[in-house]
Amino acid sequence: MKDSIFFQYELLKNNIQWFIQLRWMVIAFIWIFCVFSLSFQSYFSTKFIFCSSSFLWIGLLLLVLNLIYILHFRYFVEKQNTYSTYWNLYTQILLDLLVVSYCTYLLGGIENPFICTFLFHVILVCIFLKRLQSFVFTTIAIFLTQSFTILEFLSLIPQKSLLPYKLKEIIYQNWDYLIFYMGSVLFIAYTLWHLVSTLSERLKKHESMLAEYNQKLIRISKERSQFMLLTSHEFKAPLAAIQSYAHVLLKGYQGNLPEKVNNILTRIYERCNKLNIQVKEMIQLANINSITVEELPIAVVSLNKIVESVISNLETVSSQRHIELKTSLETAEMKGNAEQLEIMVSNLIANAITYSKDYGQVHVFLKKKEEQIELKISDQGIGIAPENLEKIFQEHFCAANAIEHNKYCTGLGLAIVKSVLKNHNAKITVESDLNQGSTFTVFFKEPQYEKNTRG
């Protein structure tokens, strides 16, 4: 509910800005019209020239009003004040209607189809406001435009006419025509109001239903991930107990074990290890997916420091297999979630080490070019078959050569990488030759999360 109010408020703000933009166009159009008619004044009748000089002033008036609207928008509307937002919108609509009515009067009123211009306002009002509000504004619009006609008719204001004949005087002597004319205006305006406002209400209803549905989907997906998280934890707890006991036995805390028992216990421990990694990665993935980008705590993080700490954690593993880790790291600060980024970097570099051959090399490059950060990790390992390149980011996918090389393959590591990158609006590319090695390149683009910067 709160979201939908905020959504409506944002929509209202956008509309106000759009109205201001439209008005600039109208001002430009009016002045072009004035310049045009004044520069060719010898070809036009005197009535028309008078008219265009008034329009110069109207253009100026609209300009001043537009500046006021902009200032009001900056200092009141932007500060989340709903009342002032509505006041800004209502004032714009009302003053525009007044200006349009006056222009209609100047341009001959009843004798010129320009009188239909107020219908544009009726349409806009019907789209942006509620049915009752738009009805009120439609009535005001009719009243304002037609009041000029009535005042002219009663000779309370001078009759403006663009035509060389005394057409107005003839029309205004004809009561029947005037009644038909007024009746038609009322009919057209209210029918238009009815059609547009009904359709617009329906669309709005549909839109809010979609928004609600979307919220529901987000909630369900969150609940699902929470459930997943708790379930995974339920798996991990007994597993942790089994493994803890196994380790206590293996370490000889209950006396020395016969060799066969020791071997079986080692296998139990290893199988638990694999299951443990799998469950851990499932928890990580559920966690990463259960938090939306908007909720993700974001701070300025130094990617080079994350890469350095990941590498120092992995040095023991790589040196055991005589794999050389070569780095070329530039300073690269970015906005992101440090924990998720660390998991992502750790998965990519650990993969490069895992799937390297002994005595191989792993290169890690980090470059910052203007707005873009590039993290490149390449190995000389077992590589990825071309037909598997598409599948490696799918959950639970393990290529045949990967399973052969790594008994702990869970097929979740790259799925986690993908989720983290999605949260950080980043891209990844993979180049690989079977038995030659793979290169994973991550591209981060700045700026990100301007609205959600914390810390």
Instruction: Work out whether 245 is an interface residue with another protein (CB under 8 A).
Output: yes
Return d(Cα 30, Cα 379) in angstroms, integer. Answer: 67
Q: Which residues contact 3 (CB under 8 A, 6 or more apart)?
A: 211, 215
Q: In angstroms, what is the minimal distance from the CB of 222 to another protein?
A: 9
Instruction: Work out whether 257 is an interface residue with another protein (CB under 8 A).
Output: no
In this structure, what token pair is assigned to residue 417? 């990488």
Query: Binding segment for another protein among 27-35, 249-257, 318-326, 368-376 (CB under 8 A)?
Result: 249-257
- Nearer to another protein among residue 291 and residue 385 (C-beta): 291
The alpha helices in 251-328, defined as continuous H runs, are 259-290, 303-320
CB atoms within 10 A of CB 216: 10
Query: Binding segment for another protein among 7-15, 180-188, 239-247, 441-449 (CB under 8 A)?
Result: 239-247
154: three-class secondary structure by DSSP: coil
Q: In angstroms, what is the minimal distance from the CB of 81 to another protein?
A: 26
Q: In angstroms, what is the minimal distance from the CB of 273 to another protein?
A: 9
The CA angle 227-228-233, to the nearest 5 degrees, is: 100
Query: Binding segment for another protein among 213-221, 279-287, 324-332, 437-445 (CB under 8 A)?
Result: 279-287
- Run of H or E including 438: strand 437-445
Encoded one letter per residue, x for contact with another protein by CB under 8 A and - for no contact, window 293-332 reads ----x-----------------------------------
103 burial (CB, 10 Å; 0-12 / 13-18 / 19+) is: buried
Give me the sheet containing 361-369, strands edge to edge: 324-329, 361-369, 372-379, 437-445, 427-433
Query: Binding segment for another protein among 88-96, 164-172, 205-213, 276-284 (CB under 8 A)?
Result: 276-284
The residue within the footprint of another protein, chosen from 92, 146, 287, 380 (CB under 8 A), is 287
Q: At what angle do helices 338-354 and 413-423 cross, to 10 degrees?
A: 150
Interface of this chain with another protein, residues 207 to 226, rule: CB under 8 A: 226
In sequence order, the β-bridge partners of residue 39 are none
- Nearer to another protein among residue 152 and residue 281 (C-beta): 281
- Nearer to another protein among residue 83 and residue 253 (C-beta): 253
Query: Binding segment for another protein among 51-59, 206-214, 231-239, 431-439 (CB under 8 A)?
Result: 231-239
Return d(Cα 9, Cα 26) in angstroms, integer. Answer: 26
Q: Name the site residues for another protein (rule: CB under 8 A).
A: 226, 229-230, 233, 236-237, 239-245, 247-248, 251, 253-254, 272, 276, 280, 283-284, 287, 290-291, 297, 339, 342-343
